[in-house]
Structure 1
Amino acid sequence: MSVEALREQQAIRRTTEHLVQVFAGTHSAEHVERVMQAAYRRFDGFPVRDFVPVLAERLARSELAVRVETNVPAEVDTPEERPEDVRPETGPVAVKMPGRKVLIPIGLAVVVAVVVTVVVVNLGQEEPPAPPPLATVRGVIGSEKKAFFEDPQVVRALADKGVKVEIETAGSRQIATSTDLGRYDFAFPSSAPAGEYIQRLRKVGTKYTPFSSPMAIATFQPIADLLTKAGVVKQDAVPAFKIGRHLELVTTDTKWDQLADNSVYRVDKDILISTTDPRTSNSAAMYLAINSYVANGGKVVHGATAEKSVLPLVTRLFTSQGYTDNTSEGPFNEYLTVGMGPSPMVWIYESQFIDAARQGRLKPGMVLMYPSPTVLSKHTLVPLNADGDRVGRLLSTDPRLQRLAAEHGFRSGDTGGFAKVAADNKVRVATDLIDVVDIPSYDTLENLLDGVAKSYG
Structure 2
Amino acid sequence: MAVDAAREEKALRELTNRLVDRYGEEHSVERVEAVVGAVRQRFDGHKVRDFIPILIERIARRELTPVEAENSAEEANTVNSQAIPLGDNSNSASGHLFDTLDRLGVSRRTALVGAAAAVVAVVGVVAVIAVQQPDSAPVAAAPGGLTTVRGVVGSEKMAFFEDSRVADALARHGVKVEVDPAGSRQIATSVDLGKYDFAFPSSSAAAERIQRLKGVSGKYTPFSSPMAIATFRPIVDLLTAAGVVKPGPAPAFDIEKYLALAERGVQWDQLEGNTTYPVRKNVLVGTTDPRTSNSAAMYLAVTAYVANDNTIVRGGKAEDYAVSRISRLFTRQGYTENSTDGPFKEYLAGGMGQTPMVWIYEAQYVDAAVHNQLKPDMVLMYPSPTVVSQHTVVPLNDKGDTIGKLLSTDPELQRLAAEHGFRPNDVSLFTKVTAEHQVPVVPNLIDVVDPPNYDTLEHLLDGVAKAFN
TM-score normalised to structure 1 length: 0.73
Question: Matched residues, percent identical?
Answer: 62
Whichever residue aligns with residue 396 of structure 2, its letter is L
User: What is aligned with 1:89?
Assistant: none
Alignment match of 1:221 (pick from 224, 233, 236): 233
2:361 is aligned with 1:349 = yes
C-alpha distance in 1, partners of 2:410/2:254? 38
Give secondary structure in 2 for the equivalent of 1:161.
coil
Whichever residue aligns with residue 452 of structure 1, its letter is V
Change (3 A) 1:133 1:315: same
1:198-222 alpha-carbon deviations (Å, 9 max, x no partner): 1111111100000000000000001
Asked if 1 retains the 8 angstrom alpha-carbon contact of 2:62 and 2:68, the reply is no
Change (3 A) 1:174 1:440: same
C-alpha distance in 2, partners of 1:236/1:452? 33
2:38 is aligned with 1:26 = no
Give secondary structure in 1 for the equivalent of 2:416.
helix
C-alpha distance in 1, partners of 2:249/2:64? 48
1:217-269 alpha-carbon deviations (Å, 9 max, x no partner): 00000100110000000013520000000011111111100101101100111
In the TM superposition, residue 126 of structure 1 has moved relative to its aligned partner by: 8.5
Change (3 A) 1:359 1:237: closer
| Greater share of helix | 2
C-alpha distance in 1, partners of 2:208/2:303? 22
Give secondary structure in 2 for the equivalent of 1:213.
strand
C-alpha distance in 2, partners of 1:403/1:386? 24
User: What is aligned with 2:414?
Assistant: 402
1:61-104 alpha-carbon deviations (Å, 9 max, x no partner): 999746999xxxxxxxxxxxxxxxxxxxxxxxxxxxxxxxxxxx
User: What is aligned with 1:249?
Assistant: 261
2:388 is aligned with 1:373 = no
User: What is aligned with 1:390?
Assistant: 402
In the TM superposition, residue 23 of structure 1 has moved relative to its aligned partner by: 11
Alignment match of 2:373 (pick from 361, 368, 373): 361
Alignment match of 1:270 (pick from 254, 277, 282): 282
Alignment match of 1:312 (pick from 307, 324, 330): 324
Alignment match of 1:335 (pick from 341, 347, 361): 347
The residue correspondences of 1:154-169 to structure 2 (distance < 5 A) are 154-169=166-181
User: What is aligned with 1:288?
Assistant: 300
User: What is the count of residue pairs matched by the alignment?
Assistant: 350
Give secondary structure in 2 for the equivalent of 1:26.
helix
Structure with bigger gyration radius: 1
Change (3 A) 1:236 1:281: same
The residue correspondences of 1:183-194 to structure 2 (distance < 5 A) are 183-194=195-206
C-alpha distance in 2, partners of 1:68/1:324? 59
Alignment match of 1:204 (pick from 194, 212, 216): 216
In the TM superposition, residue 414 of structure 1 has moved relative to its aligned partner by: 2.6
Asked if 2 retains the 8 angstrom alpha-carbon contact of 1:211 and 1:411, the reply is yes
TM-score normalised to structure 2 length: 0.71
C-alpha distance in 2, partners of 1:193/1:187? 13
Asked if 1 retains the 8 angstrom alpha-carbon contact of 2:154 and 2:201, the reply is yes
Asked if 2 retains the 8 angstrom alpha-carbon contact of 1:24 and 1:156, the reply is no
C-alpha distance in 1, partners of 2:277/2:67? 56
C-alpha distance in 2, partners of 1:64/1:411? 32
C-alpha distance in 2, partners of 1:349/1:416? 19
1:95-154 alpha-carbon deviations (Å, 9 max, x no partner): xxxxxxxxxxxxxxxxxxxxxxxxxxxxxx898487321110000000000011111111
User: What is aligned with 2:446?
Assistant: 434
Asked if 2 retains the 8 angstrom alpha-carbon contact of 1:143 and 1:328, the reply is yes
The residue correspondences of 1:89-168 to structure 2 (distance < 5 A) are 128=134, 131-168=143-180
C-alpha distance in 2, partners of 1:67/1:155? 29
CA RMSD of aligned residues (A): 2.5
Change (3 A) 1:154 1:278: same
Q: Where does the alignment leave 5 or more consecutive residues of structure 1 unmatched?
A: 1-21, 30-60, 70-124
C-alpha distance in 2, partners of 1:398/1:127? 24
Alignment match of 2:337 (pick from 316, 325, 331): 325
